């Protein structure tokens, strides 16, 4: 069963990683860069402040920091260091078949993707804080996290399974910390007040 899943994961990786073009290489490199999303993170803080006020923002910032620490370090300590699955760009059996877009491949192990875990955590934390309003925020946040995850496979540094499980882990972490923030700092949604 595990061998079948690994073969399926490898085939999906080769298909996604094989669909490349110079314009897409540049786009996916940009999507995957951590600095790309700084303006979006600033917008998220603005939305938290708008929804919860200054006191809520003051509580949210350390909660978000702890959430990212748990998401990022959990993806490494709980998964990468224990599973020790090689990244596709380090896998000898895929030598010459991986279209590696970036100069480096990253660390030796890739299960699970920290990018996928961290972006899913932030996305689902924001969904929890925003309460699904506006309605387009849920698909937009999930789409954003999915695009970043897809970019990691496209760039040749993760298998689809790495980003899928990383995204699930990040989703759990994000929901947990959204609930924690609402418990620490309950707030009344102004849209619900008549």
Which residues, listed in sequence order, are joined to residue 109 by a DSSP beta bridge?
86
Examine residue 79 and state whether it is found in any structural domain, yes or no.
yes
Does some domain include residue 169? yes
Cis peptide before 134 (omega within 30 of 0): yes
**Residue 105: domain span:** 2-184
Planar angle of CA 75, 76, 81, nearest 5 degrees: 125
CA distance 83 to 2: 13
- 123, 144 in Cβ contact below 8 A? yes
Neighbours of 159 (CB within 10 A): 28
The pLDDT, as a whole number, for residue 186 is: 78
Whether residue 158 is contained in a domain is answered as: yes
The CATH number that applies at residue 17 is 1.20.144
- φ and ψ of 109, to 5 deg: -105, 150
Q: Which stretches of the chain are DSSP H helices? A: 2-18, 22-32, 38-74, 81-83, 114-130, 137-154, 160-184
Domain presence at residue 55: yes
Distance CA 114, CA 74 (A): 9
Q: CA 64, CA 67: separation in Å to the nearest integer?
A: 5
pTM above 0.85, yes or no: yes
How far, in Å, CA of 45 to CA of 57, rounded?
A: 7
User: How many domains is the chain partitioned into structurally?
Assistant: 1
Residue 17 belongs to a domain: yes
Angle at 53 between CA 49 and CA 56, to 5 degrees: 85
- Which pLDDT tens digit goes with each residue over 36-73? 899 989 999 998 898 888 998 999 999 999 999 999 99
Query: Is residue 153, in this structure, part of any structural domain at all?
Result: yes
| Domain presence at residue 194 | no
Does 112 sit behind a cis peptide bond, omega within 30 degrees of 0 on the bond before it?
A: yes
The pLDDT tens digits along the chain (194 residues) read 878 888 999 999 999 998 888 899 999 999 999 888 999 899 999 988 988 889 989 999 999 999 999 999 999 999 999 999 999 999 998 888 888 887 788 889 999 999 999 999 999 999 999 887 888 889 999 999 999 999 999 999 999 999 999 999 999 999 999 999 989 887 655 543 33
Domain contains 160: yes
Instruction: Calculate ∠ Cα 118-122-124, nearest 5°.
Output: 115
């Amino acid at each position: 069963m595990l061998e079948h899943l690994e073969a399926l994961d490898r085939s999906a990786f080769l298909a996604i990683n094989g669909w490349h073009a110079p314009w897409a290489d540049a786009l996916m490199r940009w999507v995957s860069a951590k600095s790309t999303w700084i303006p979006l993170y600033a917008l998220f803080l603005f939305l938290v402040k708008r929804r919860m006020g200054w006191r809520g923002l003051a509580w949210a910032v350390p909660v978000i920091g702890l959430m990212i620490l748990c998401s990022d370090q959990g993806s490494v300590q709980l998964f990468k260091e224990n599973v020790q699955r090689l990244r596709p760009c380090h896998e000898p059996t895929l030598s010459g078949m991986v279209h590696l877009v970036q100069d480096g491949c990253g660390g030796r192990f890739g299960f699970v993707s920290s990018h996928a875990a961290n972006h899913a955590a932030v996305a689902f934390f924001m969904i929890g804080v925003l309460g699904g309003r506006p309605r387009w925020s849920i698909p937009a946040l999930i789409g954003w996290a999915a695009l970043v995850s897809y970019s990691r496979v496209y760039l040749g540094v993760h298998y689809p399974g790495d980003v899928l499980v990383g995204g699930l882990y990040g989703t759990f972490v994000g929901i947990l910390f959204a609930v924690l923030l609402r418990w620490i700092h309950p707030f009344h949604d102004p849209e619900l007040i008549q």
